[in-house]
Amino acid sequence: MNRPGASPLVILHAMALPQEGAVPEWLHLIPAGKTETVDGRASGHLAPDVVPQMFAVGGDRAARVPVDINHANAKRGGAGHETPAIGWIVELQSRDTGLWGRVEWNRRGRDALENREYRGISPEVFVRRSDGVILGIQGASLTNAPNLRGLTPLFNTQEQDNMEKLLEQLRAALGLKNDAGEDVVLNSIETLKTEAATRKGQLAALAKAAGQADDAGHEVVLNAVKAGAARAGDKGSAEKEIEGLRDELTKITVELNTVKAAGAREKAEAFVDGEIKRGRVGLKPSRDRFVQMHMADPANARAIIEGMPVMTGEMTAPAAAPKEGEVVLNSVDNRVASLLGIKTEDMKKIKTAEAAEVM
């Protein structure tokens, strides 16, 4: 359905992930400013004076636009196939961030979002060829192939997964229960830091009493105490005192190392995950190995990772839709495989593994 002066129907994919356990009522459909797509197939921009009339472009479906799955209505409706709506966009709202739509979901749509069956929302819009103004919205679909840039994400799985992994590691290091919340973990760390500071002060006082510098290491302090006790001729009592002091200092060292390791892991995961998000080729499959490398030697890990190529350029979609569960390589995948010397079948296995992690 085309209006005079408008280009053919342009299908734009936009990532909009639902929050876990919740179904969003408002969806960010089109970003403010000029739209950009991953594959560069189409672009356009919103005009504030056009937004109030955008529903009317849909003809007899004015003020009510269907939401379906994988653009079923646009691709299969004309051939007589069933294309049921899973929800209806009943209101549009222009915000500083772009165009938002309020959706009335039916049961099927709510189930799909609650089960996280699809990754994003993809609007179907009309674009005026002469100036690129988006004239109207004809529909939207749930899709696993987000393509439109600049939309506000509704759910960030990578950040949540990273936080949960960090919490699991901190719970184990602090000896907390598996269901301990963030507040319990943070309070435990603060307590540990306070105790470590107290014991550090005690060690400084002991070092001073033994005639050593305030910042003397525990071995230096132990040797000084041992030497002093030996000179006093009370070796039996000195050995007990030294043993108790050794245990206390060992405990302090372990606790300080635990706090230091937790901070190092947090910094390492933040850097590696940030580079994965930038598109560093080959980094995601070896994420944990590079996190460990960064914890041990941050400068060396950074140099290696920043030397990896960043995935750029246009992505070409396959000519035919892949079978269910089948992984199809696009032009960028093939280029990456060629640069890294990876066989096509091995590249498919990597893509399959990455897809499994997303699900």
Q: Do 188 and 96 reside in the same domain of the chain?
A: no
Would the pLDDT of 9 be above 70?
Answer: no
Question: pLDDT: is 243 or 7 the higher one?
Answer: 243
pLDDT for the residue 195? 78
Mean pLDDT of the chain: 75
pLDDT for the residue 19? 43
pLDDT for the residue 212? 75
- Nearest CA-CA partner of 138 in 128, 153, 123: 123
- Nearest CA-CA partner of 339 in 297, 301, 309: 309
pLDDT for the residue 119? 74
For residue 87, what are its two tokens?
A: 């929800």
pTM: 0.41
Collapse the DSSP code of 14 into the 3-class scheme (helix H, G, I; strand E, B; otherwise coil) and give the result.
strand
List the end-to-end C-alpha distance of the chain, in Å, as a whole number: 35
Q: Do 148 and 16 reside in the same domain of the chain?
A: yes
Q: Do 33 and 98 reside in the same domain of the chain?
A: yes
In a domain, residue 47? The reply is: yes
Contact, 262 vs 189, CB < 8 A? yes
In a domain, residue 44? The reply is: yes
pLDDT for the residue 15? 38
Would the pLDDT of 151 be above 80?
Answer: no
Q: How far apart are CA 39 and CA 317, in angstroms?
A: 8
Would the pLDDT of 60 be above 50?
Answer: no
Contact, 210 vs 218, CB < 8 A? no
pLDDT for the residue 241? 67
pLDDT for the residue 138? 86
Which of 155, 189, 213 terminates a domain? The answer is 155
Question: pLDDT: is 168 or 164 the higher one?
Answer: 168
Q: How far apart are CA 353 and CA 339, in angstroms?
A: 20
In a domain, residue 354? The reply is: no
Rg (CA), the chain: 30
∠ CA 216-217-220, rounded to 5°:
85
DSSP state of 212: -
Summarize pLDDT for 199-241 with one digit per residue, the tens: 777 777 777 776 777 677 667 777 776 676 666 655 555 566 6
State mean pLDDT over 94-101. Answer: 86
Neighbours of 266 (CB within 10 A): 16
Question: pLDDT: is 7 or 234 the higher one?
Answer: 234
Which of 113, 139, 155 terminates a domain? The answer is 155
Q: Do 15 and 150 reside in the same domain of the chain?
A: yes
Contact, 238 vs 229, CB < 8 A? yes
Would the pLDDT of 80 be above 90?
Answer: no
Neighbours of 57 (CB within 10 A): 21
pLDDT for the residue 105? 92
pLDDT for the residue 107? 95
Residue 220 Cα distances to 245, 329, 347, angstroms: 12, 62, 56
Best-predicted range by mean pLDDT (65-69, 171-175, 279-283, 305-309): 65-69
Which residues, including other chains, have CB under 8 Å from residue 280's CB and lie 6 or more apart?
Answer: 305, 308, 309, 310, 311
pLDDT for the residue 89? 92
Beta bridge partner(s), residue 105: 87
Question: By residue range, what is the domain housing residue 263?
Answer: 159-279
Would the pLDDT of 25 be above 70?
Answer: yes
pLDDT for the residue 356? 61
Percent pLDDT > 70 in the chain is 72
DSSP calls for 261-327 = HHHHHHHHHHHHHHHHHHTBTTTGGGHHHHHHHHHH-HHHHHHHHHTSPBP-S--PPPSSPPPTT--
Beta bridge partner(s), residue 142: 69, 121
Would the pLDDT of 108 be above 90?
Answer: yes
312: left (phi over 0), alpha (psi -120 to 50) or beta: beta
Q: Do 140 and 173 reside in the same domain of the chain?
A: no
pLDDT band for 196, please (50, 70, 90 cuts).
confident
Q: How far apart are CA 108 and CA 163, in angstroms?
A: 31
Q: Do 148 and 41 reside in the same domain of the chain?
A: yes
Q: How far apart are CA 205 and CA 198, in angstroms?
A: 11
Summarize pLDDT for 230-288 with one digit per residue, the tens: 666 555 555 666 777 777 777 777 777 777 777 788 888 999 898 888 888 888 888 89
- What is the per-residue burial (b if ≥16 Cβ within 10 Å, else e) of 79-109? eeeebebbbbbeebebeeebbbbebebeeeb
Summarize pLDDT for 286-321 with one digit per residue, the tens: 889 888 888 888 888 888 888 888 776 544 444 444
In a domain, residue 127? The reply is: yes
State mean pLDDT over 159-177. Answer: 75
State mean pLDDT over 44-56. Answer: 75
Q: Do 254 and 189 reside in the same domain of the chain?
A: yes
Would the pLDDT of 34 be above 50?
Answer: yes
Residue 98: its H or E element: strand 98-105
Q: Do 210 and 226 reside in the same domain of the chain?
A: yes
Q: Do 185 and 113 reside in the same domain of the chain?
A: no
pLDDT for the residue 17? 38
pLDDT band for 180, please (50, 70, 90 cuts).
confident
Which of 247, 264, 279 terminates a domain? The answer is 279
